[in-house]
Amino acid sequence: MSKTVLPSGRVQPRFAGICTFLRVPQVEDVASENRPIDWAIYGVPSDAGVTFRPGARFGPRAVREASQYIKPYLIEQGVHLAERLSIADAGDAPVNPYSCRQTLDGVAAFASKLGEARQTRLLAIGGDHSIAYANLKATWERRGKPAGGLAVIHFDAHMDTVDEVWGEKWGHASPFRRAIEDGLIDPKSMISIGIRGTLNDPADLNYARQHGVTLVKFDEWRKGGPQALAAFVSRLAKRETYITFDVDAVDPAFCPGTGTPVAGGFTSAEALEAVRSLRGINLVGADIVEVLPDRDVSEITATFAAQLMAEILGLSA
């Protein structure tokens, strides 16, 4: 029997039925059968932290819908998700659209109660990137608050280590600044891939570099990036590692549905290949953020995010 019970395509085609992420059962249904949960996926419908274009609050809904067409067997990884993992949809975390901070507190509290701490890993679907802080915090706590912080593999066009914007320290430009300050992550075991474009000034790149983050700008990625990532991963060994993926890492042609697009990024093939190359890491949590459905076209951004969700889950199978 599969570890995750998916609805039969015989009675419920992929365009039918109430949507859960990847069509997996809801957390309560799995819990009612006393089955363990390897991964709890939950949405964070918040864009309280954005600095430019809002709307990522509709991201979880769009990714749930696009993920209906994702099937359990991953061709490239050669893994059958449902047979190897017990996955459940935990619904959406509570949010306060008028407050970043209250939203983050609520999300962390919600996430801390999902499944069983050591067993159940958390995959958060944003929402804007500010929510990564909350999922990182919940993950770090579930892992017993490791002293050095978690290792992080970070895909993004932006470094997200700005101190504050318009007086707000918890917005989507700042999650990794806060996470470093609070010891949730270890900047010396963090790699940021895909950084590019323009900034008001180079301060947040400098902050990252000064704290030891391995920074691979996208132009550098095109010249040896996969090798640099492989070297980083091999240094990690079995260190507890978190993946945070901002879809604006990918070029706007592939992910137009995002709030701060930057021309000149990954193709989706390059990005998926990079993620698949991470097999073997000790993955303890992840997030996929910044899907903004109102800017999407033909749901290609949400479709990419849904595929990415499956690939990240597959890494641990």
Q: Report cis status (omega within 30 of 0) of the bond before 127.
A: yes
The interface with a second copy within residues 152-181 (CB under 8 A) comprises 165-168, 171
Separation of alpha carbons 237 and 28, rounded Å: 35
Q: Which stretch binds a second copy (CB under 8 A): 9-17, 117-125, 184-192, 227-235?
A: 9-17
Residues 214-273 that bind a second copy (CB under 8 A): 217-219, 222, 251-254, 256-257, 260-269, 271-273
User: Using CB under 8 A, which residues numbered 34 to 53 contact a second copy?
Assistant: 43, 45, 47-48, 50-53
State how beta strands 185-195 and 214-217 pair.
parallel
Tell me which of 1, 33, 34, 200 binds a second copy, using CB under 8 A. Answer: 200
Least CB distance to a second copy at residue 80 (A): 7
End-to-end Cα distance, the chain: 16
Instruction: Give the span between the Cα atoms of 168 and 313, in whole angstroms.
Output: 33
3-state secondary structure of 66: helix
Sign of the dihedral defined by the CA atoms of residues 157, 42, 229, 314, in that order: negative
Taking the complex as a whole, the smallest distance from the CB of residue 224 to a second copy amounts, in Å, to 14
Nearer to a second copy, 147 or 298 (CB): 298
Q: Which two tokens stand for residue 129?
A: 């990137």
Candidate residues 118, 148, 188, 199; the one interacting with a second copy per rule CB under 8 A? 199
Distance between CA atoms of 138 and 145, rounded to whole angstroms? 9
Binding mask of the shown chain, residues 95 to 124, with x at each position contacting a second copy by CB under 8 A: xxxx-x------------------------
Query: By CB under 8 A, is residue 33 in contact with a second copy?
Result: no
